[in-house]
Each structure stands twice: as C-alpha cells, then as structure tokens.
C-alpha cells in the first residue's frame, strides 16, 4: 500500500506521517512517501501561497516537484494546504481516497474527484476555534466591545454608539446560519447552549442527521426568508462558482435595520460594494468580518472609516493546537468512515 503525504509551512509532513501510521487503512505494509509544499517558509511568508491557492485554485499553482511519478501507483493522498490538482488526480488510477485537514476546499479539484468516484475526506481543522470566534464576533459587534476598547485606547470614554437604539441581549435575537456544515453545526451547538433561537438555510444538509446530533434549529426554504427574519446572519459556506457574490444588495436590503451580518468564512461570498453601501447608509445595524477582499487592508481602505463594523485580520481559526494537530483529527474521521461507511465530512 502506497500513501503520499504533502506537508507545508503550517502542518509538517512528519505529523501527517504519524497520523497515517495509526489510520486503519488495511493490513498491508504501508509505504509512506512525503513531499513538501513551501514547508521551508515562515507562517507570514506562506500566507502569500495561501491566498494564491484560495483565489486561483489547485490547477493554477505549482505542485510539488516529482509527485506525479509517485502518484501513479499511490493508494491514498493526504495533505493540508497543498494542491490536489486535476493533473495529480488524473495520473493516479489506483487512488482510493484523498484526505485534507483545513478549513476550505479551494486547494482540491473536487470536480475531477467526483468524476473519478474518489471519496474526499474533508476535516475542518479549526471548526471549534472558528465557531468560538464567530460567537465572539456577534457579541463584540452587537455590544460594541471592540469599539469601546478602541475608544478608550484613543483617550475617549465612549458610551454611545450607532446601534444604541437596537442593543439587546443575544437570547432576544434570532441567529440565521447560512451553511450547516461542520463549522455551522458547531456554532449552532453553542447557540443552543445559550438558548438563542436559530434559523438555518442549507439545501444540502440531511435534516434527519442534523437532528440526530441533538441540534435545535428551524430550517427555512430560501436565503431570502433567512435574511428577512434573522436579527444576526452568520455565513458558513465555501466559495464556489455558485456561491461567489451570493450575498448581494438584493439580500442585504431584505435585512432589518436592527440586524447584523457576521462573516468568518470567505470574503468573496459577499459583493463588497453592496455591503459597504448598506453599512455607510446605516441600512443595517452593523457587521463583523474576520475576512476581507484585500488582506491586509490598505491604509486608505473605506472599511477603516466605518463606525458600525468590527474587523479582525483572518484569525478565527488561529489557535496553538488546531492547525498543527489537524492530521490526527483527519485520522479519526478516516477511521470512522472506513468502519461505518458514513461521515459528515466526506464529499463524494
């Protein structure tokens, strides 16, 4: 059995190897071949390649040198941020599974995997950190926590803010969750614990499996209904050709003047100019964004002049343990799938 792993600057090939060694892939002797994808860079230097693959996809970045030869007889491929390109999949006729352990799937050519009927195990390495952070963004924005702190640091004792006429506790607000994948489910679990009413829009989720997990939410039939009825809208989707810019002025204009938009997923889900416009004219109470269309923000960015937005620098999933240990989460999910034939985190 031949297994190819690809390490990078955030998840070492050594950790991937250790995780693979305790996967229940069969009784055959394992031959594990390790490759690197910019593993010699610092975290900050690697950010350039993260943005490159997220924006341009796996077929438009450099793949590890020599890997195509080893993939010709590989049974499994596991990675973190490295590309899983069309070319890599096409040369691997024996491939039984691909596994990746990061937040999105922009690094994988899912279309070709589906054409080849190769299952993809997608473990969101930082689901819990992102869910925690998203809840924090809701509280920070609706209760002006970050703005009050910033004012004090700048010598002002601010107690009045643009959302004063709307301020209330979280349990008095209905949170609309767009996308009930792994991160969405983790957020809903937290909201359930706080007795916060939840609406969900996700046409792909299995509602029976959702409820078997003990989660409580009302499913709506359309994004329009969710945007109309929610006090807080939180986005938890991948960016695909179908979802890019799906949040536009038509949906934003359906929101209540007292409502908020939270985005800890991907900036390109939203039409930037449309969100800027509605915030500038106070059409909604506010927004909290951990992702932006330009990272880092330029000093003349219009986002910096708004008084009704909380901004953070794409750190929702950044904890000391979530990323480096993610291959062991991948190991658990692979073993569960091989044992039961089912997983919430498999894409076929």
Tokens of 256: 């209540």
Q: Is 145 helix (H, G, I), strand (E, B) or coil?
A: helix
Please answer whether residues 137 and 143 qualify as being in contact, where contact means their C-beta atoms are separated by less than 8 angstroms.
Answer: no
Instruction: Please name the residue that has the structure tokens 């910096």.
Output: 304
Residue with tokens 């054409």: 115
Contact, 345 vs 98, CB < 8 A? no
Q: Is 309 helix (H, G, I), strand (E, B) or coil?
A: strand
Residue (of 320, 348, 340) closest to 126 by Cα position: 320
266 labelled catalytic: yes
Rounded distance between C-alpha atoms, residue 257 and residue 340, angstroms: 47
Task: Dig out the tokens for 11 from the structure.
Answer: 């998840």
Other Cβ atoms less than 10 A from the Cβ of 151: the count is 15
Active site residue 295: yes
Q: Calculate the CA dihedral of residues 316, 318, 184, 175 and round it to 10 degrees.
A: -30
DSSP state of 297: P
Is 102 catalytic? The answer is: no
Which is the catalytic residue, given 18, 143, 314, 336?
314
Token pair 């979802």 is found at 243
Q: What is the CB neighbour count within 10 angstroms for residue 44?
A: 8
Q: Compute CA 255 distance to the chain's CA centroid, rounded to the nearest angstrom.
A: 23
Which of the residues 122, 125, 147, 266 is marked catalytic?
A: 266
Give the chain's largest Cα–Cα span: 67
- 296 preceded by cis ω (within 30°)? yes
Cα–Cα dist 327/80, whole Å:
8
Q: In terms of Cα–Cα distance, which of 166, 211, 209, 168 is closest to 192? A: 211
DSSP reduced 3-state for 189:
helix
- Say which DSSP state 30 is in: P
Residues classed as catalytic: 266, 295, 314
């Amino acid at each position: 059995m031949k297994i190819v792993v690809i390490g990078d600057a955030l998840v070492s090939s050594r950790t991937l190897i250790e995780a693979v060694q305790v996967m229940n892939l069969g009784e055959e002797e394992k031959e594990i071949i390790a490759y690197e994808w910019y593993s010699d860079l610092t975290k900050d230097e690697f950010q350039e390649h993260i943005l490159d693959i997220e924006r341009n996809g796996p077929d438009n970045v450099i793949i590890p040198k020599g890997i195509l030869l080893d993939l010709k007889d590989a049974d499994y491929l596991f990675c973190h941020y490295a590309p899983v390109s069309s070319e890599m999949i096409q040369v691997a006729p024996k491939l039984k599974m691909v596994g990746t352990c990061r937040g999105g799937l922009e690094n994988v050519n899912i279309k070709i995997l589906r054409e080849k009927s190769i299952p993809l195990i997608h473990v969101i390495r930082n689901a819990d950190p992102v869910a925690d952070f998203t809840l924090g963004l809701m509280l920070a924005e609706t209760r002006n926590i970050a703005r009050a702190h910033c004012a004090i640091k700048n010598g002002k004792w601010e107690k009045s803010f643009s959302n004063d006429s709307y301020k209330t506790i979280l349990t008095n607000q209905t949170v609309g969750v767009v996308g009930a994948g792994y991160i969405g489910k983790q957020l809903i679990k937290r909201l359930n614990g706080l007795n916060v009413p939840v609406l969900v829009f996700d046409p792909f989720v299995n509602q029976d499996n959702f409820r078997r997990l003990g989660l409580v939410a009302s499913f709506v039939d359309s994004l329009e209904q969710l945007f109309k009825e929610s006090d807080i809208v939180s986005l938890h989707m991948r960016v695909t050709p179908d979802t890019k810019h799906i949040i536009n002025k038509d949906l934003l204009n359906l929101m209540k003047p007292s409502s908020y938009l939270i985005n800890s997923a991907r900036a390109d889900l939203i039409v930037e100019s449309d969100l800027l416009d509605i915030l500038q004219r106070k059409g909604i109470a506010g927004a909290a964004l951990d992702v932006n269309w330009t990272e880092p923000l330029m000093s003349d960015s219009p986002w910096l002049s708004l008084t009704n937005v909380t901004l953070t620098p794409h750190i929702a999933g950044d904890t000391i343990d979530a990323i480096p240990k993610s291959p062991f989460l991948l190991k658990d999910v692979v073993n569960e799938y091989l044992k039961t034939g089912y997983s919430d985190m498999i894409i076929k």
